[in-house]
């Protein structure tokens, strides 16, 4: 499926589209069909953003503890990618072949073996573009910082990102198939451990600034 920027902007909310494909999926909970074909792309796009931001930060971080955390975060999301691939899900968005440089970007969107409705695929494509913008903005802002200021901003940003990811995973578990829920349960344990680590790192950086 090829999705243009125009069709993406005209897309309906994804939640309104779920019944179109959910009925064909095995049920995760009584009366609640799983939404794996939308959960997986969201996780993979968010994971790509974290991997790229942490890979960038590794080049500038000074704290050994912060560097160790950045590496662990990359490993976490690489593991999530591997686990989702085992369920049949790869990164959901690729460039459409044959596009011209002067034309708006078009994307091919997939969600495992399930063909998403056009409007849902458009929203996944938009999420991919948002991730691109987030990565660019993150680097632009972080380029202005160095030393302890960079480390503190990195740790604070990661704490915020992990709190948001915990919210997402806790919610996704209620809508996932049993196999997907198992992957998310494992991921939640790592997220909670990372939150505790980040709080300790933040406290240490604050103490060192006194």
Give the pair of three-digit tokens for residue 25. Answer: 């999926």
Give the pair of three-digit tokens for residue 84. Answer: 């989702």
pLDDT band at residue 104 under the 50/70/90 scheme: low
pLDDT at 81 over 90: yes
Give the chain's mean pLDDT.
86
> What is the Cα–Cα distance from 106 to 94, expressed in whole angstroms?
9
CATH number for the domain harbouring residue 137: 1.20.1260.10
How many domains are there within the chain? 1
pLDDT band at residue 97 under the 50/70/90 scheme: confident
**pLDDT at site 19:** 41
Q: Chain centroid to CA 4: how far?
A: 21
pLDDT band at residue 135 under the 50/70/90 scheme: very high
Q: Residue 107's beta-bridge partner residues?
A: 3, 95
Q: List the beta strands (DSSP E) in 88-176.
A: 93-95, 106-109
Phi/psi of residue 197, nearest 5 degrees: -65, -45
pTM of the model: 0.82
C-beta separation of 111 from 124 below 8 A: yes
Mean pLDDT over residues 93-120, rounded? Answer: 83
Mean pLDDT over residues 130-134, rounded? Answer: 97
pLDDT at 29 over 50: no
Domain limits at 90? Answer: 2-21+29-208
Q: Chain centroid to CA 60: how far?
A: 23
pLDDT at 140 over 90: yes
Mean pLDDT over residues 142-165, rounded? Answer: 97
Lowest-pLDDT range, 4-8, 14-18, 51-55, 129-133?
Answer: 14-18
Express as a percent the part of the chain with pLDDT over 70.
79
């Amino acid at each position: 499926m090829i999705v243009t920027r125009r069709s993406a902007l005209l897309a309906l909310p994804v939640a309104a589209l779920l019944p179109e494909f959910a009925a064909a999926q095995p049920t995760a909970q009584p009366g609640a069909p799983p939404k794996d074909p939308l959960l997986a792309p969201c996780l993979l796009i968010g994971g790509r953003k974290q991997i790229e931001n942490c890979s960038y930060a590794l080049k500038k971080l000074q704290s050994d503890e912060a560097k160790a955390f950045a590496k662990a975060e990359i490993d976490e999301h690489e593991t999530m990618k591997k686990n989702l691939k085992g369920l049949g899900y790869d990164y959901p968005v690729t460039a459409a072949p044959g596009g011209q440089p002067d034309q708006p970007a078009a994307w091919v969107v997939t969600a495992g073996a399930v063909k998403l409705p056009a409007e849902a695929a458009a929203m996944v494509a938009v999420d991919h573009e948002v991730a691109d913008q987030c990565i660019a903005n993150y680097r632009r802002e972080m380029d202005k910082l160095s030393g302890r200021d960079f480390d503190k901003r990195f740790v604070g940003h990661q704490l915020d990102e992990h709190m948001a990811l915990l919210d997402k995973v806790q919610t996704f578990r209620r809508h996932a198939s049993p196999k997907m829920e198992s992957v998310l349960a494992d991921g939640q344990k790592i997220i909670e451990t990372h939150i505790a680590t980040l709080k300790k790192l933040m406290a240490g950086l604050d103490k060192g600034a006194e």
